[in-house]
Amino acid sequence: MSDQALRRAEVGIAFRARRRRVPLALMARYAVLVGTIIITVFPLVWLLITSVRSSADLFAVPVHIIPTSITAKQYISVFSQYSLSSYLWNTVIVSLTTVVSVTVLALPCAYALARLRLPGGRVVLFLLLIMRMIPVVALAIPLFAVFSSFGMLDTLGALILTHTAAKMPVATWLLMGFIQDLPKEVEESAEVDGAGTLRTLVQIVSPMIAPGIGASAVITFLFTWNDFLIALTLTSSKNAETLPVGLTNFVTQYGIDWGPMAAAGVMMIVPVLIFVWFAQGLLVKGLVTGAVRG
Amino acid sequence: MLAGPALIVMIAVFVYPLGYSFVMSFFQWDLSAGSNDFLGLANYTDAFGSPEFLQSLRNQVIFSTASLMTEVVAGMGIALLINGKMRGLRLARTLLLIPPMIAPAVIGLNFRWLFNEQYGLFDAALRDLHLPVIPWLSDPDWALVSVIIADVWQNTPLLVLLFLAGLQSLPQEPLEAASVDGASAWRTFWSIILPLLRPVVLIALMLRIIDTFRTFDIVWLMTQGGPGGATTLITVEAYLLAFQGVDFGHAAAVSYIALAMSLVLLSALYGVPWLMARRRR
Which tens digit of pLDDT belongs to each residue from B81-133? 998 888 888 889 899 999 999 999 999 999 999 998 888 888 888 888 888 88
Average confidence score pLDDT of chain B: 86
Please report the number of interchain residue pairs, chain A to chain B, with beta-carbon separation below 8 angstroms: 269
**Could you tell me the pLDDT band of residue A20, with boundaries at 50, 70 and 90?**
low
**Could you tell me the pLDDT band of residue A84, with boundaries at 50, 70 and 90?**
confident
| pLDDT score at B179 | 80
**Could you tell me the pLDDT band of residue A294, with boundaries at 50, 70 and 90?**
very low
- Can you tell me the distance from the alpha carbon of B99 to that of A276, in angstroms, rounded to the nearest whole number? 11
The 10s digit of each residue's pLDDT in B51-80 is: 899 999 999 999 999 999 999 999 999 999
**Could you tell me the pLDDT band of residue A5, with boundaries at 50, 70 and 90?**
low
Average confidence score pLDDT of chain A: 83
Average pLDDT over residues A35-50: 92
Are B14 and A61 a contacting pair at CB < 8 A?
no
| pLDDT score at A97 | 96
- A114 touches A180 (CB < 8 A): yes
In one-letter notation, the amino acid at residue A201 is: L
Q: Does A91 touch chain B (CB under 8 A)?
A: no
The 10s digit of each residue's pLDDT in A87-124 is: 999 999 999 999 999 999 999 988 888 887 777 777 78
Comparing CA positions, the residue from A167, A147, A149 lying closest to residue A233 is A147
- Say if residue B85 is exposed, middle or buried (CB neighbours under 10 Å; 0-12, 13-18, 19+): exposed
Comparing CA positions, the residue from B104, B101, B126 lying closest to residue B115 is B126
Strand partners, A251: A256
B175, pLDDT greater than 90: no
Comparing CA positions, the residue from A33, A142, A111, A38 lying closest to residue B3 is A111
| pLDDT score at A93 | 95
- Can you tell me the distance from the alpha carbon of A293 to that of A287, in angstroms, rounded to the nearest whole number? 10
Q: How many beta carbons lie within 10 A of that of residue A125, not counting itself? A: 17
Are B103 and A113 a contacting pair at CB < 8 A?
no
Are B121 and A63 a contacting pair at CB < 8 A?
yes
**Could you tell me the pLDDT band of residue B25, with boundaries at 50, 70 and 90?**
confident
Distance of alpha carbon A79 from the chain centroid: 25
**A36 vs B contacts (CB less than 8 Å):** 78, 82, 92, 96, 160
Determine if the peptide bond prior to B227 is cis (ω within 30°). Answer: yes
Q: Which of B13, B119, B252 sits opposite A162 (nearest CB)?
A: B13
B94-113 b/e with 16+ CB inside 10 Å = b?
Answer: ebbbbbbbbbbbbbbbbbbb
Distance of alpha carbon B185 from the chain centroid: 30
A193, pLDDT greater than 60: yes
Average pLDDT over residues B162-191: 85
Q: pTM of the full predicted structure?
A: 0.87
The Cα of A79 is separated from the nearest Cα of chain B by a number of Å equal to 18
Q: Report the percent of chain B where pLDDT is more than 70.
A: 95
| pLDDT score at B106 | 94
**C-alpha dihedral, A291 to A294 to B4 to B9, nearest 10°:** 70
- Can you tell me the distance from the alpha carbon of A287 to that of A275, in angstroms, rounded to the nearest whole number? 13
The Cα of B165 is separated from the nearest Cα of chain A by a number of Å equal to 8
B247, pLDDT greater than 70: yes
A15, A36, A226, A277, best to mutate vs chain B, most B CBs in 10 Å: A36
Which of residues B206 and B159 earns the better pLDDT score? B159
Q: Report the percent of chain A where pLDDT is more than 70.
A: 89
